[in-house]
């Protein structure tokens, strides 16, 4: 996969969206005893929901589907499956976004079967309605056209993977890059500016992986 439509999401957006989501939960009169974060994308929203909803109990389940930015793995799996007794408890399962919905469906089914809460509802910041196999009970933003949201907690991971794809594609005809050329091409491809700190970190990872080599301030594609 090459160029993908991408939007940069800021920390401020996340706080605002989480607050908006919390208001929806509160207004529905659902008072969870426990919040369950879907690792890893649900961690920050779940923690913020604990704050906005005044919930003390926060636990986690790792359900993984996408292994790298904008590239889905074959299927979702529950990692580190453990037993827990949530009987009598109202739970709120929280994630960043429902895209295919595979990882949330898997997490929901696992929790209902093994942890047996009295009630389980699902809240996500975003819901990609045309592609999702699941509609969360609460969502803050409905997305009607697929896009990759570049969340602040995957900024380096995404920048690295996007840059890797860009270089391997462009590397067919361009082997030597300056820092400014790499950043310029990235901006042209993805139209998001992650800032110099993240560009430099991503380039450092590309060097570590042997994809780029640095000589006299120029980066050589070694793909
Ligand atoms: P899914 O199982 O397809 O609903 O997605 C699983 C996880 O992958 C989500 O909780 C996100 O952390 C990540 N993800 C999937 N699609 C996107 C997207 N369009 N933008 C940002 N992150 C995404």
**What CATH code is carried by the domain that includes residue 196?**
1.10.10.10
Q: How far away, in angstroms, is 77 Cα from ligand 1 center? A: 14
Mark whether 69 and 176 lie in a shared domain: no
Mark whether 160 and 215 lie in a shared domain: yes
Q: How far away, in angstroms, is 3 Cα from ligand 1 center? A: 17
Q: Which of 150, 168, 199 is the last residue of a domain?
A: 150
Residue 131 domain boundaries: 6-150
Q: How far away, in angstroms, is 174 Cα from ligand 1 center? A: 32
- Which two three-digit tokens encode residue 112? 């209902």
Vertex 157 angle, CA 211 and 218, to 5°: 35
Task: Kindly state whether residue 1 falls inside one of the protein's structural domains.
Answer: no
Q: What is the pLDDT of residue 96?
A: 98
Mark whether 191 and 95 lie in a shared domain: no
CB count within 10 Å of CB 217 equals: 7
Mark whether 94 and 120 lie in a shared domain: yes
Q: How far away, in angstroms, is 99 Cα from ligand 1 center? A: 5
The Cα–Cα gap between 37 and 43 comes to 5
Mark whether 124 and 179 lie in a shared domain: no
Mark whether 112 and 158 lie in a shared domain: no
Q: How many domains does the chain have?
A: 2
How much is the pTM?
Answer: 0.94
Helices (H) then strands (E): counts for the chain? 6, 11
The Cα–Cα gap between 202 and 164 comes to 9
Ligand 1 pocket: which of 65, 94, 95, 106 to mutate (most atoms <8 Å of CB)?
65
The Cα–Cα gap between 103 and 84 comes to 19
Closest ligand 1 atom to residue 102 Cα is 2
Q: Which of 128, 150, 172 is the last residue of a domain?
A: 150
Task: Kindly state whether residue 144 falls inside one of the protein's structural domains.
Answer: yes
Mark whether 215 and 136 lie in a shared domain: no
Burial (0-12, 13-18, 19+ Cβ within 10 Å), 18: buried
Q: What is the mean pLDDT of each run of 10 residues along the chain (223 residues)?
A: 87 98 98 98 98 98 76 76 97 98 96 98 98 98 98 98 96 94 97 98 97 97 88
Task: Kindly state whether residue 161 falls inside one of the protein's structural domains.
Answer: yes
Mark whether 37 and 19 lie in a shared domain: yes
Ligand 1 pocket: which of 17, 39, 40, 96 to mutate (most atoms <8 Å of CB)?
96
The Cα–Cα gap between 92 and 216 comes to 54
- Ligand 1 within 6 A of 136 CB? no
Closest ligand 1 atom to residue 64 Cα is 6
User: CA dist 163 to 38, 83, 192, 195, 201, Å?
Assistant: 27, 40, 12, 14, 11
Task: Kindly state whether residue 169 falls inside one of the protein's structural domains.
Answer: yes
Least Cα distance to 207 among 219, 195, 191 occurs for 219
The Cα–Cα gap between 171 and 176 comes to 8
Mark whether 108 and 92 lie in a shared domain: yes
């Amino acid at each position: 996969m090459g160029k993908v439509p991408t939007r940069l999401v800021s920390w401020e957006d996340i706080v605002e969206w989480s607050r908006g989501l919390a208001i929806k939960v509160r207004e529905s009169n659902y008072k969870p005893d426990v919040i369950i974060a879907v690792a890893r994308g649900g961690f920050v929203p779940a923690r913020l929901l604990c704050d906005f909803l005044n919930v003390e109990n926060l636990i986690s389940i790792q359900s993984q589907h996408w292994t790298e930015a904008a590239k889905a793995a074959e299927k979702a799996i529950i990692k580190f499956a453990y037993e827990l007794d949530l009987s009598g408890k109202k739970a709120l399962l929280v994630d960043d976004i429902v895209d295919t919905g595979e990882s949330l469906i898997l997490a929901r089914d696992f929790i209902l079967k093994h942890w047996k809460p009295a009630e389980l509802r699902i809240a996500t910041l975003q819901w990609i309605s045309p592609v999702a196999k699941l509609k969360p009970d609460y969502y803050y933003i409905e997305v009607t056209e697929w896009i990759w949201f570049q969340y602040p907690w995957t900024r380096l991971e995404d920048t690295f993977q996007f840059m890797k794809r860009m270089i391997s594609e462009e590397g067919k005809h361009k082997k030597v890059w300056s820092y400014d050329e790499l950043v310029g091409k990235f901006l042209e491809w993805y139209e998001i500016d992650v800032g110099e700190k993240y560009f430099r970190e991503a380039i450092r990872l590309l060097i570590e992986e042997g994809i780029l080599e640095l000589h006299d301030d120029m980066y050589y594609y070694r793909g």
